[in-house]
Amino acid sequence: MDLQRSDIRLALPSKGRMEAEAMAFLSEAGLSVSKPNPRQFEATIPVMPDLTVLFQRAGDIVVSVRDGSVDFGITGMDTVLEREGENGEILIMLDALGFGGCTLNVIVPESWEDIRSMADLVQKRTGLGRPLRVATKYPNVSGEFFSRHDLEDTRLIRAEGTLEVAPAIGYADLIVDLVSTGTTLRDNRLRSLDDGLVLKSQACMIANRNRLKTQPEVLAKAQQLLEFVVAHLRAAGNVSIFANIRGESPQVIAERMFEQSTIGGLQGPTISNVITRKGGDWYAVHIVVNRDDLAQVIQELRAIGGSGVVVTPVTYIFEEQPDACVALLQALEMDQ
């Protein structure tokens, strides 16, 4: 850990799908990363000029945050759980950023037709007369999973690169690996066990606990990051609706809206007068609703006389104080 450094650092994945998705996510959240040279490993976020962005391999991000050489990181939860260590320095600020989704599974050859569950693996071990050999990039979380299924003696072989060939060439009986679409497994005549889900993973945001506790500027930056990211995540599933409705008064229109199931808004509708050329009691209504409910929202607005409905995306929904910020402060207070 570099005790002398004064800069604040955020580490992002340096390659692959996770890098592209992390960059896109931050851009959508209003935190675009400026990286003029695609080969460089340092960048900036112009709206946060005091934050240095570094690019590292996913596993190295966890190690760097754990030892305090980096303050914050975005990486997969699978990697965090595998490499967080036992010093308690990894603090998970947000456990689900909505991208990088995959699962870690126990995977066997298709030729093992009678092996469908972890219990079947126990019988397979007995039949072989020796411990099972499992190739994986995740020996820590895999070992815990096998132990919970009475397979404590499993021989875990740490491996990098392409694991799918391990059963075919004979250096492992089966593998534990990440699965996203399953196409690679089918191409290599492999399949997941029915109850072999080790964990579900997606991108998360982590921080170094000691840096948060001892450096006020780092804690302030953590709260600022959480404000932007949480507001964006909350907004991502919503749309903003504007509509004109004829009615006797704002109160009467609000009551009609509350009688419906989807057009009540977050706290309630915003209703204001519409100044028309021909007169009449028209009001403009604004609500924020769940994007998945949009078809029903349109029907319900029409049912109470709504017209001229305009739908726009929502970039942020800022709360009075995000739950994530409250949880962060509470976690640090518990350490004292």
Query: In which band, very low, low, confident or very high, does the pLDDT at 277 lie, cut at 50, 70 and 90?
Result: confident
Give domain status of residue 260, yes or no: yes
Q: Which two tokens stand for residue 297?
A: 């929202």
Residue range(s) defining the domain that contains residue 25 = 8-100+202-235+321-334
Residues 126 and 256 in one domain: no
Q: What is the DSSP letter of 33?
A: -
| CA pair distance 117, 174, nearest whole angstrom | 13
Query: What mean pLDDT is predicted for residues 307-311?
Result: 95
Per residue in 8-35, pLDDT tens?
999 999 988 999 999 999 999 999 999 8
Residues 108 and 211 in one domain: no
Helix 216-236 and helix 323-334, axial crossing angle in degrees, nearest 10: 150
Domain CATH code at residue 326: 3.40.190.10
Give domain status of residue 1, yes or no: no
Domain CATH code at residue 258: 3.30.70.120
Return the amino acid letter for 75: T
From residue 162, alpha-carbon distances to 12, 80, 167, 176 in Å are: 23, 21, 11, 12
Residues 73 and 154 in one domain: no
Give domain status of residue 139, yes or no: yes
Per residue in 282-300, pLDDT tens?
999 999 999 999 999 999 9
Per residue in 37-81, pLDDT tens?
878 899 999 999 999 999 999 999 999 999 999 999 999 999 999
Cβ-proximal residues to 181 (8 Å cutoff; 6+ apart), any chain: none
Residues 326 and 230 in one domain: yes
Strands 72-76 and 8-13: parallel
Residues 75 and 90 in one domain: yes
Query: What mean pLDDT is predicted for residues 261-272?
Result: 94
Q: DSSP 3-state assignment of 183?
A: helix
Residues 217 and 286 in one domain: no
Q: How many domains does the chain have?
A: 3
Residues 191 and 206 in one domain: no
Give domain status of residue 225, yes or no: yes
Give domain status of residue 291, yes or no: yes
Give the phi and the psi of residue 16 in degrees, each rounded to 5.
80, -170
Give domain status of residue 22, yes or no: yes
Residues 220 and 252 in one domain: no
Cβ-proximal residues to 20 (8 Å cutoff; 6+ apart), any chain: none
Strands 155-158 and 133-136: parallel
Q: Which two tokens stand for residue 204?
A: 């998360």
Beta carbons of 78 and 199 less than 8 angstroms apart:
yes
Per residue in 78-108, pLDDT tens?
999 999 999 899 999 999 999 999 999 999 9
Handedness of CA 221, 227, 233, 239 (dihedral sign): negative
Enumerate the β-bridge partners of residue 56: 13
Residues 70 and 213 in one domain: yes
Residues 113 and 227 in one domain: no
Per residue in 198-231, pLDDT tens?
999 999 999 999 999 999 999 999 999 999 999 9
- Whole-number mean pLDDT of the chain? 94
Give domain status of residue 2, yes or no: no
Q: What's the pLDDT score for residue 2?
A: 53
Give domain status of residue 3, yes or no: no
The last residue of a domain, from among 174, 200, 226: 200
Residues 227 and 326 in one domain: yes
Residues 91 and 216 in one domain: yes
Buried b (16+ CB within 10 A) or exposed e, 43-78: bbbeebeebbbbbbbbbbbbbbbbebbbbbbbbbbb
Handedness of CA 53, 56, 62, 67 (dihedral sign): negative
